[in-house]
Structure 1
Amino acid sequence: MKLIKSRLWRRLLATVGVLLVVAGGLGVGNSSDLWAAEDGQPQLLAHRGIAQTFPLDGVEADTCTATRIHPPEHLLVENTIDSMRAAFDAGADMLEFDVQLTADNQLAVFHDSTLECRTDGTGRVRDHTLAELRKLDLGYGYTADGGATHPLRGKGVGLLPAAEEVIAAFPDRELLVDLKNDDRADGERLADLLATLPAQRRATIGVYGGDVAVRAVAERLPQLRVASRQTMKDCLLRYLAVGWSGHVPDACRNTELHLPQRYGRLLWGWPDLFVERMRGAGTRVILVAGDGPWSAGFDGEEALDQVPEHWSGWLWSNRVDAIAPHLRP
């Protein structure tokens, strides 16, 4: 009996030893401390150009954010060529902008599905022609004091661009297009536009949005880098299963990953090794501040304290002008 117990005990110790060795190997093989590049440099994504910011507490899907902005530090209106150009001048490496279909089948660059919050217009964007939308004042509704003053009123008249105008205005820059409506028609119309561009130019453009609209783009242009809730879910679940080995699943190749900072730590090799693996697979990793539901950005020096050391992926920001000086003195 003593001999049997001794053998069982030795087997148990051997098993534990093997498990510890395997666990140690996985830890070493996925340790960013060992694999990180000390000269990591973040790349900056300008969300809607340089935009007015607002507190996110209490924001719901139907909240009019233009009526709760912080006191303006600039007079730029989001999603305009002026705000986009200012973002690139301030150090942005990529620009994100919103598009949606108009009544005359054009792709207007505008965030909200309706006009009342931000502009002096009424109704849905999709019920107006592009020419009608261009007559609106895009800064009409912005206020930081409950409506006592409107500092951007009159600053956005005639500034609404079409998607092709943004692409033409920044011919050699990285762009990320947000399909605001999850409709197949929107995705097909954007795919039609992008299909007219040379392959080299399309390689600098990404698309994200709802599953239906993004799927329409991906079916037409399978080499385009796209992202939706479904594509990111497919990638991350597969990576969680096999990423310990260093393998990058096909679902994670040539795509976009928009990751809230608090969830990244769950991923094998986070942060630096994970970013390097995805970069090697042609995928951009974009870090979003906070929990992620409302596109919170890294918009000030204090927010940068939450960025992993040596981070060399992308940072999502509404105020590239405010953070670039701290990252690139």
Structure 2
Amino acid sequence: MQRAVERSRRTPPPYLTDSLPARNGWPVGFAHRGADVRRENTLAAFEAAVDAGFGHLELDVRTTADGELVVFHDDTLDRVSTGRGRLRDHTWEQLADVTVGGEPLLRFAELLTALPEARLNVDLKDRASAPALARILAEHDAWDRVLVASFHDSRRRLFRRALADLGHPDRAYGPEQVATSGGAAAIAALVLLGPLGLTGWLRRYALDVDCVQVPVRHGLVPVATADFVRRCRAAGLPVHVWVVDEPDQMERLLEMGVDGIMTDRADVLAEVFTRRGIWPQR
């Protein structure tokens, strides 16, 4: 509880304030898994997204049997890659010949090095990825370059504990400046209790997060509504919405005042943002 109160009183983390779109009050475009369905979560997809104008990349991370942090979404390799079985049952060496859309698998540390100017929205897909990510951020002094998310709030808390174990280096940015987004439990609390006037209370005293990332709807329940966006922004919580591919829906969300849109359609988002004079965002 005390940590949540302390974090609610400090300024927003650099990830949410230092990028060009944030400084100008623009909504941010996120390339979801690189915005390339055939080559998702590969370096080639991310490089193409940056070339297309994206400054923010959404990605997923999992750990191998020998502890390597790999950019990959699914628990198993079968759906998108040439491999078979669970990723965590393989060592990095055993994955050397596995490809996605003809591209090799990618380690997170390699992505940090390859695209040093990109902001990375990192979704923790297993518990082991939380301390592994913290360690890599420390090695690369990359605290200000990532926003950490997970559907499981427990993984976010585990990541926070791993950051605390790293201490506070005497640098411009440190572990406490890493931005995080709320998971399923945090979002449910905001959706259910927000209409009762409790969004601000949740932000100040209960939720140790810097923004919220939500779908347009969850099943039959609308989530990214105009009222939800208004309440969150009034409480100091930027709202990012995923995954949006239709131009009309992008326009509606932008009119609501959302702070970011994640998409698999780089071309569609670029066209919508160009009409508004907020593209490219590199």
When the two structures are superposed, what TM-score results if normalisation uses the length of structure 2?
A: 0.71
Is the CA contact 1:50–1:321 (under 8 Å) kept in the aligned structure 2?
A: no
1:84 to 46, 58, 66: 46
Is the CA contact 1:238–1:249 (under 8 Å) kept in the aligned structure 2?
A: no
Please give the alpha-carbon distance, in whole angstroms, between the structure 2 residues aligned to 1:195 and 1:137: 29
Please give the alpha-carbon distance, in whole angstroms, between the structure 2 residues aligned to 1:304 and 1:176: 19
Q: Which residue of 2 aligns with 1:230?
A: 185
1:46 to 31, 38, 42: 31
Q: Which residue of 1 aligns with 2:116?
A: 171
Residues 183-219 of structure 1, C-alpha deviation per residue, up to 9 Å, x if partnerless? 2x33222222223343xx3123111122332221022
- Which amino acid in the other structure matches residue 323 of structure 1? L
Q: Which residue of 1 aligns with 2:239?
A: 285
Question: Following superposition of structure 1 onto structure 2, how do residues 289-328 of structure 1 map, counting pairs within 5 Å?
Answer: 297-309=243-255, 311-328=257-274
Q: Which residue of 2 aligns with 1:99?
A: 61
Is the CA contact 2:190–2:202 (under 8 Å) kept in the aligned structure 1?
A: no
Say which SS state the counterpart of residue 137 (structure 2) adopts.
Answer: helix
- Which amino acid in the other structure matches residue 176 of structure 1? N
Q: Which residue of 2 aligns with 1:192?
A: 135
Is the CA contact 2:58–2:122 (under 8 Å) kept in the aligned structure 1?
A: yes
Which has the higher Rg, Structure 1 or Structure 2?
1
Say which SS state the counterpart of residue 213 (structure 2) adopts.
Answer: strand
Q: Which residue of 2 aligns with 1:121?
A: 83
- Which amino acid in the other structure matches residue 307 of structure 1? L
The 3 A distance-change label for structure 1 pair 320 and 264 is: same
- Which amino acid in the other structure matches residue 214 of structure 1? R
Say which SS state the counterpart of residue 149 (structure 2) adopts.
Answer: strand
- Which amino acid in the other structure matches residue 40 of structure 2? E
Please give the alpha-carbon distance, in whole angstroms, between the structure 1 residues aligned to 2:149 and 2:89: 23
Is the CA contact 1:176–1:205 (under 8 Å) kept in the aligned structure 2?
A: yes
The 3 A distance-change label for structure 1 pair 169 and 197 is: same
- Which amino acid in the other structure matches residue 318 of structure 1? D
Is the CA contact 2:71–2:108 (under 8 Å) kept in the aligned structure 1?
A: yes
Shift of 1:95: 0.7
When the two structures are superposed, what TM-score results if normalisation uses the length of structure 1?
A: 0.62
Is the CA contact 2:240–2:262 (under 8 Å) kept in the aligned structure 1?
A: yes
Please give the alpha-carbon distance, in whole angstroms, between the structure 1 residues aligned to 2:146 and 2:64: 22
Supply the RMSD in Å over aligned alpha carbons.
Answer: 2.9
- Which amino acid in the other structure matches residue 79 of structure 1? N
Is the CA contact 1:100–1:126 (under 8 Å) kept in the aligned structure 2?
A: yes
Residues 28-52 of structure 1, C-alpha deviation per residue, up to 9 Å, x if partnerless? xxxxxxxxxxx97431011100222
Percent of residue pairs identical: 27
Q: Which has the higher contact order (CA 8 A, sep 6+)?
A: 2
The 3 A distance-change label for structure 1 pair 302 and 205 is: same
Question: Following superposition of structure 1 onto structure 2, how do residues 13-32 of structure 1 map, counting pairs within 5 Å?
Answer: none
- Which amino acid in the other structure matches residue 53 of structure 2? G
Is the CA contact 2:130–2:156 (under 8 Å) kept in the aligned structure 1?
A: yes
Gaps of 5+ in 1: 1-38, 53-75, 140-154, 289-296
Q: Which residue of 1 aligns with 2:20?
A: none
Q: Which residue of 2 aligns with 1:112?
A: 74
Shift of 1:107: 0.6
Shift of 1:225: 2.2
Q: Which residue of 2 aligns with 1:264?
A: 224
Please give the alpha-carbon distance, in whole angstroms, between the structure 1 residues aligned to 2:91 and 2:47: 25
Please give the alpha-carbon distance, in whole angstroms, between the structure 2 residues aligned to 1:240 and 1:252: 17
Please give the alpha-carbon distance, in whole angstroms, between the structure 1 residues aligned to 2:249 and 2:190: 27
Q: Which residue of 1 aligns with 2:5?
A: none
Asked if residue 204 in structure 1 is aligned to residue 204 in structure 2, the reply is no
Please give the alpha-carbon distance, in whole angstroms, between the structure 2 residues aligned to 1:277 and 1:105: 41
Shift of 1:220: 2.5
Question: Following superposition of structure 1 onto structure 2, how do residues 245-260 of structure 1 map, counting pairs within 5 Å?
Answer: 248-252=203-207, 254-260=209-215
Shift of 1:240: 4.2
The 3 A distance-change label for structure 1 pair 120 and 218 is: same
Shift of 1:248: 4.8
Residues 65-92 of structure 1, C-alpha deviation per residue, up to 9 Å, x if partnerless? xxxxxxxxxxx50101111111122222
